[in-house]
Amino acid sequence: MSAALTDERRDVARRRPSVPRTRRRGRNRAFLYVLPAAAVYAAFSLWPALNTVYYSLHRWDGLNAAEWTGFDNYAEVFTDAELFGSILHSLVLVLFFAAAPITVGLLLTGLLMGRGTRGMTTFRVIYFLPQVVPLVAVGVTWRWIYAEDGVVNQALRAVGLDALTSPWLARHTTALIAIGLVGTWCMTGLCMMLFVSGAQKIDASLYEAAAMDGAGAFRRFTSVTLPGLRGEISVAAVITTIAALASFDLIYVTTGGGPENATTVPGLLVYRLAFSYGEVGGAAALAVVLTVLILAFVTAIRRLTREKE
């Protein structure tokens, strides 16, 4: 009985289609082609990331031997007023770097799409210019615009609103908002470009059907354009949110984190802790917390904007 079963299994194995040798060789060659890129990625991305997690559990000044501290560095991130305040500041910047640009970008898209394609290229170039200029140059320019004798205060004095003039970047109550408005100015053009490109791919028959049903311009925008831009909105939200949470250069050039730590953000404190104060372990812990925060935001955005099956 067992011999018969063994012969039957052999017959099944013979009849089972086997992977040709050429296909296996092709897979091996494919792995060889991927191997150099994978090695570079592992060396310059995965290994530094693992090292960051490792040093976040130690107290290390970058020179002497690291001392194991467990989760003390993480506890300090959430108990230290300056460190935890920087995270709150970055969350405020999300409103200016992500929510406001997406809202304004959708509004501009609705206005531009309603006026045909004439002059569309000119509008795209004008609104996209802030993305071409480096953020360091943007920061220097807006620092001059916000100065006491800058363009903003001069415009207020010109219309008789001298009482509203202020050193915008030097006042505790206005510095973070002023920087946030710069982020809105920078990111709005990118969002608008994504939305206009996506709106042009929407089938025109959908707009015609909505118009035949008596839908006005606003109704067509909310019922046809917005659902058709779900993917573009998701991409814009992810890009702008990461820019807000990982902001560094704009803050460093304009305020340096001041006044009185009113504009400190995690990226700036990671730089200071590691290279100015010699607290590499604390900097690594803050970097890990920032990474987890970004991943949480990106995951939430992807789920909220995912199309229902």
* Euclidean distance between CA atoms 176 and 91, whole angstroms: 11
Structure tokens at 269: 């404190």
Residue range 1-33, pLDDT digits in tens? 455 545 555 555 555 555 556 566 667 777 888
For residues 139 and 250, the answer to whether their CB atoms sit within 8 Å is yes
Instruction: Give the pLDDT of residue 296.
Output: 94
Helix and strand tally (H, E) in the chain?
Answer: 17, 2
Instruction: Give the pLDDT of residue 10.
Output: 56
Average pLDDT over residues 204-229: 83
Residue range 125-159, pLDDT digits in tens? 777 788 788 888 899 999 999 988 889 999 988 99
Residue range 263-288, pLDDT digits in tens? 999 999 999 999 988 899 999 999 99
* Euclidean distance between CA atoms 178 and 176, whole angstroms: 5
* DSSP code, position 42: I
Average pLDDT over residues 296-300: 93
For residues 187 and 98, the answer to whether their CB atoms sit within 8 Å is yes
* Euclidean distance between CA atoms 56 and 285, whole angstroms: 4
Instruction: Give the pLDDT of residue 22.
Output: 59
- For 98, half-sphere exposure in the C-beta direction (CA atoms, 13 angstrom radius) is 24
Residue range 34-70, pLDDT digits in tens? 888 889 999 998 999 999 999 999 998 888 888 899 8
Q: Is 81-304 a CATH 3.20.20.70 domain?
A: no
Report the percent of the chain where pLDDT is more than 70: 88
The candidate with the shortest Cα–Cα distance to 178, out of 192, 194, 162, 166, is 166
Q: Is the pLDDT of residue 309 over 50?
A: no
For the chain, the structural domain boundaries read 81-304
Backbone angles phi, psi at 95, to 5 degrees: -65, -40
Q: Is the pLDDT of residue 122 over 80?
A: no
Question: pLDDT class for 207, splitting at 50, 70, 90?
Answer: confident
Instruction: Give the pLDDT of residue 97.
Output: 95
Measuring CA to CA, how many Å separate 293 from each of 93, 244, 263, 298? 14, 12, 19, 9
Measuring CA to CA, how many Å separate 228 from each of 196, 204, 220, 225? 11, 12, 11, 5
The candidate with the shortest Cα–Cα distance to 215, out of 204, 226, 224, is 224
Instruction: Give the pLDDT of residue 227.
Output: 86
Instruction: Give the pLDDT of residue 120.
Output: 66
- Please state which of the ranges 82-86, 116-120, 154-158, 274-278 shows the lowest mean pLDDT: 116-120
Average pLDDT over residues 104-119: 74
Average pLDDT over residues 206-221: 82
Structure tokens at 31: 């792995």
Instruction: Give the pLDDT of residue 23.
Output: 63
* Euclidean distance between CA atoms 136 and 125, whole angstroms: 20
For residues 281 and 57, the answer to whether their CB atoms sit within 8 Å is yes
